[in-house]
Amino acid sequence: MSERTVLDHEVIVVGAGVAGIYQIKLLADLGVDARVLDAAGDLGGTWYGNRYPGARFDSESYTYGYSFSRELLNEWHWKERFSSQPENLRYLNYVADKFDLRKYMEFDCKVETLHFDETNDLWRLKIANGRQLTCRFVIMAVGLLSIPTPPRFQGMDRFKGRSFHTFYWPHAPVEMSGKRVAVIGTGATGIQVIAEIADKVGDLTVFQRRPNWSAPLNNGPISEAEMADIRSRYDAIFKTCGRTPGGFEHEPDRRGFYEVSREERLALWDKLYDSPGFAIWLRNFREIFTDEKANAEFSEYVAERIRRRVKDPAIAEKLIPRDHGFGVQRVPMETHYFEAYNRDNVHLVDISQTPIEEITETGLRTTERDYQFDVIVYATGFDAITGAFDRIDIQGRGGAKLRDKWNDGPSTFLGMLVHGFPNFLMPSGPQSGSASTNYPRGIETGVNWCTNLLQYMWAHNYVRAEPTPEAQERWTDHVKQMYSAMLMRKAKSWFTGYNSNVPGHEHGKIRYLVYNGGAPKYVNKINEVAEENYQGIVFTPASPPDQHQGGEKVSLVEKMPS
């Protein structure tokens, strides 16, 4: 029996998070036959998972929201400058309901295989429940940090208490009062959880392998009057986000680090330490990112602030990173994190000195001693950026597997297309602008660009788009070059593809995952490609019906938007 060549849908979007929701909105507006599939039980992506206490934006809420609808901007009231997970999930649901997008979405649909059918220019999908689907275009809106990576300790399934990775924090409230709780991991997630639960649990033990540089979030409520003011300034706010490297309102200090006096530097830093959000990272001198000496001076400033906040000098020293400078890894933002260690019920264990040997029935054992716990929280991070691609059996032309191609790190064209994988679009893929930008600002850029590409193809009756190997190589070289000036290339973090819990990624061999040229440069580059009729992409026109082999080939035309 020959394989079905009927197209179930023109476009299938994988993922119903921030990117997938916006993508389906645009496709629905165009009248395209499209579907969104998500492995989770409902929409929201990152904000559907990550229900751990303390989960919230580090982006100013009003710069994180979608910018595409004036009505939406006028209706939604962000209650906090850095909004928390429940509110963020409410927002995404509100958007989906307002624009009637749920009807295009299917949940509990884990895509297991994605194979390109070269004869028919279509993708064949298999879902975990055995269902099969076909579509012309696949849009991967799979998220940057959507594959949690628990550690690989012996005995993890033996533990008789409750244990979970933060991404899988249970939906029903977890009773914490009076409980003995362990948190393993002190990245952005661990730092949020620890600060939030320190005064709510009986006893909290933090297992830290490496400390992270962290600084106050300086969150606060947004009143009706402030929200009205924000609404009146939305155009200006998004304009600023569009011209800053990170897609935030934060603009770097344009003065040269060495051109101003030490007193002036300190004055700026004192101000930034008390400013909201990533100001301390992104309003700083640009040399912080590129110059070892400048970075070391600023790192020492932050170390001093930590020493002032932690009463026990020995604990303070343990909380100060030694292996990397401030801002070369993703900076976790905190609220009373350091003060948590001043509490009698909070203990810090340095597992670089006394590593965890195994999880036991009643807790865990380090090389030093046994610990008893009721709850163990794994705040151990994600298989970042390429992880969600690696978990799907993606085969392009000639049966080539994407995960093999990307084994030593991804190679893409503009972070949105891959040679050998036609009609496979990644609005927020590796090497795109999204990962290094205020995420929704980056994804709106990527989704708009991918949608324009599709419209161009529909207008020209093209059925296949694939970047040339030369264009892809040029882009990947450009991405690599962007890393060369950055101190971050030396740090073991998810920006460089390090993850001790993922085989092959534990040695810190650099993977060029993010675009470090800044949002404006990225937007210029991708717009240039579009303006030059998508130079670097080879298009294949639909063949006339009488040239079809097998007689069953599908004409797309009736499925095109009018």
Tell me the three state secondary structure of residue 376: strand
Q: Judged by CB, which is closer to ligand NA7: 26, or 331?
A: 331
Tokens of 446: 């990527």
Q: Judged by CB, which is closer to ligand NA7: 78, or 382?
A: 382
Q: Judged by CB, which is closer to ligand NA7: 74, or 154?
A: 154
Q: Judged by CB, which is closer to ligand NA7: 214, or 431?
A: 214
As a whole number of angstroms, the distance between CA 220 and CA 479 comes to 37
Residues in the chain: 562
Exactly one of 110, 210, 480, 525 binds ligand NA7 (CB under 6 A); that residue is 210
As a whole number of angstroms, the distance between CA 192 and CA 207 comes to 14
Exactly one of 85, 244, 380, 496 binds ligand NA7 (CB under 6 A); that residue is 380
CA nearest neighbour of 413 among 484, 473, 453, 495: 473
CA nearest neighbour of 456 among 18, 101, 99, 30: 30
190 binds ligand NA7 (CB under 6 A): yes
251 contacts: CB under 8 Å, gap ≥ 6? 240, 243, 244, 282, 283
Exactly one of 189, 205, 412, 423 binds ligand NA7 (CB under 6 A); that residue is 189
Shortest distance, position 494 Cβ to ligand NA7, whole Å: 5
185 binds ligand NA7 (CB under 6 A): yes
Q: Judged by CB, which is closer to ligand NA7: 494, or 522?
A: 494
Site string for ligand NA7, 143-172 (x = CB under 6 A): --x-----x---------------------
Site string for ligand NA7, 478-507 (x = CB under 6 A): ----------------x-----xx------
Shortest distance, position 351 Cβ to ligand NA7, whole Å: 6
330 binds ligand NA7 (CB under 6 A): yes
Tokens of 479: 């991405």
At 183, which amino acid appears?
V
Tokens 């030369």 appear where? 470
Q: Judged by CB, which is closer to ligand NA7: 24, or 92?
A: 92
Tokens of 20: 């997938």
98 binds ligand NA7 (CB under 6 A): no
- With contacts defined by CB under 6 A, how many residues of the chain interact with ligand NA7? 20
Segment interacting with ligand NA7, rule: CB under 6 A, options 261-269, 283-291, 373-381, 518-526: 373-381
530-552 core/surface letters (b: 16 or more CB in 10 A; e: else): beeebebbebeebeeeeebeeee
194 binds ligand NA7 (CB under 6 A): no
442 binds ligand NA7 (CB under 6 A): no
Residue spans of beta strands (DSSP E) within 354-469: 356-359, 363-366, 370-372, 375-378, 393-395, 424-425, 462-467
Read off φ and ψ for residue 539, nearest 5 degrees. Answer: -105, 145
Tokens of 549: 């082999």
Shortest distance, position 7 Cβ to ligand NA7, whole Å: 37
Shortest distance, position 554 Cβ to ligand NA7, whole Å: 41
184 binds ligand NA7 (CB under 6 A): yes
Read off φ and ψ for residue 124, nearest 5 degrees. Answer: -110, 125
Segment interacting with ligand NA7, rule: CB under 6 A, options 77-85, 91-99, 178-186, 252-260: 178-186
Segment interacting with ligand NA7, rule: CB under 6 A, options 262-270, 380-388, 457-465, 468-476: 380-388
Q: How far is CA 188 from CA 70, 213, 309, 388, in A?
A: 32, 10, 19, 20
At 520, which amino acid appears?
P
Q: Which residue is nearest to ligand NA7 (CB)?
A: 187
Tokens of 220: 């606060």
The interface with ligand NA7 within residues 129-148 (CB under 6 A) comprises: 145
Binding site for ligand NA7 (CB under 6 A): 145, 151, 184-190, 209-210, 330, 351, 379-382, 494, 500-501
